[in-house]
Amino acid sequence: MTSQLPRMLRYGIPMVVTAALIGGADAMTRGAANQLTGLLLLACLAMAWNLVSGFAGQFSLGHSIFVGVGGYATAVLLDYLELPLILVVLAAGVVSALVGVILAYPMLRLRGPYFAIGTLGIALAVRGWMLNWDVTRASRGYPIPPESLLDIATLLRVAALLALITLVTALAIKESSLGLRLIALRDNEDGAASVGVRRVRSVVPTWAISAMLTGMLGAVIALQNGNLTPNSAFSIQYTLDAVVVCVIGGLGTLSGPLLGAVIVFVLRQYTADFAGWASLLEAVVVILVVRFFPDGAVGVIVRVRGLIRSRLRSRDAGAPREKAGRA
């Protein structure tokens, strides 16, 4: 039904691109590196969120928890230990995954809007707690030791690597049996149950993986900003960004978050001087997209390609029209 790129290319192209970015990090201007880093981190956030909210169909409004946990884990670890960068980011991811698992069992009993509101409630409760928790200096800022902060080129490399890891993970999930089970659950839960697909067994690992990736993202952001407060690290803005990017790009698809990240990032370059209007504009676009293009930019591209193809085919008389389907 669908012809697919050979596996080598599917994984290979992103790897080549990442290698190019890593190699070229020093060659480009610091300004360009900084911009690219921002784009890559936004894409990571969206792709990780998409695993739960798109693939698994559980609209999470609580992912800001993982960004914050990852960030604070990084700050605390570096405060007491001297660890190489990779270990710190990984450790932050693991802590975040653990938090995800703890939250999973209570949260994943909820569905749809309950899940959305439940996760939002937990996100705000966690932030409220962190504002009081003296272990992490409560509402006072938690600094990251200056010598651990990353310079612009290194940040780009780390962001590119993280983006690659996130993308490859998403690819792997989608192509594995886990991916199939998630789609089955999302589209028809009762039907899926009748063939033995257990919800908890499928959604919890996805949630944990998403939490880990988001936690690693939080670690990188912390290493970029150098100082954390509960309001900045657990900001709802991260949730907002994930929603906007994925909806505009195409929720639940593989390349949607990536495409959405590029679109939103470019859009923000033009609205940078009008921050208040930027939020408004993005939200209006989200509403329009949900209303008229529910599959996002990816859906638009697919439809356009389908139209072009059927035009081409009908020019060769007699050739059967291929139905445009959703992969």
Looking only at residues 32 through 51 of this chain, which bind another protein when binding is defined by CB under 8 A?
A: 32-36, 38-40, 43
Smallest gap from Cβ 83 to another protein, in A, equals 18
Smallest gap from Cβ 77 to another protein, in A, equals 16
User: Between residue 185 and residue 214, which ones bind another protein under the rule CB under 8 A?
Assistant: none
- Of the pair 318, 325, the CB lying nearest another protein is at 325
Stretch that binds another protein, among 82-90, 93-101, 149-157, 177-185 (CB under 8 A): 149-157
Q: Is 172 in the site for another protein (CB under 8 A)?
A: no
Residue in 100, 215, 224, 264 binding another protein, rule: CB under 8 A: 224
User: Between residue 57 and residue 116, which ones bind another protein under the rule CB under 8 A?
Assistant: 57, 59, 61, 106, 109-110, 112-114, 116
- Of the pair 17, 98, the CB lying nearest another protein is at 17
Q: Are 263 and 248 in contact (CB under 8 A)?
A: yes
Q: Is 21 in the site for another protein (CB under 8 A)?
A: yes
Residue in 101, 120, 180, 267 binding another protein, rule: CB under 8 A: 120
Stretch that binds another protein, among 177-185, 204-212, 276-284, 310-318 (CB under 8 A): 276-284
Smallest gap from Cβ 245 to another protein, in A, equals 12
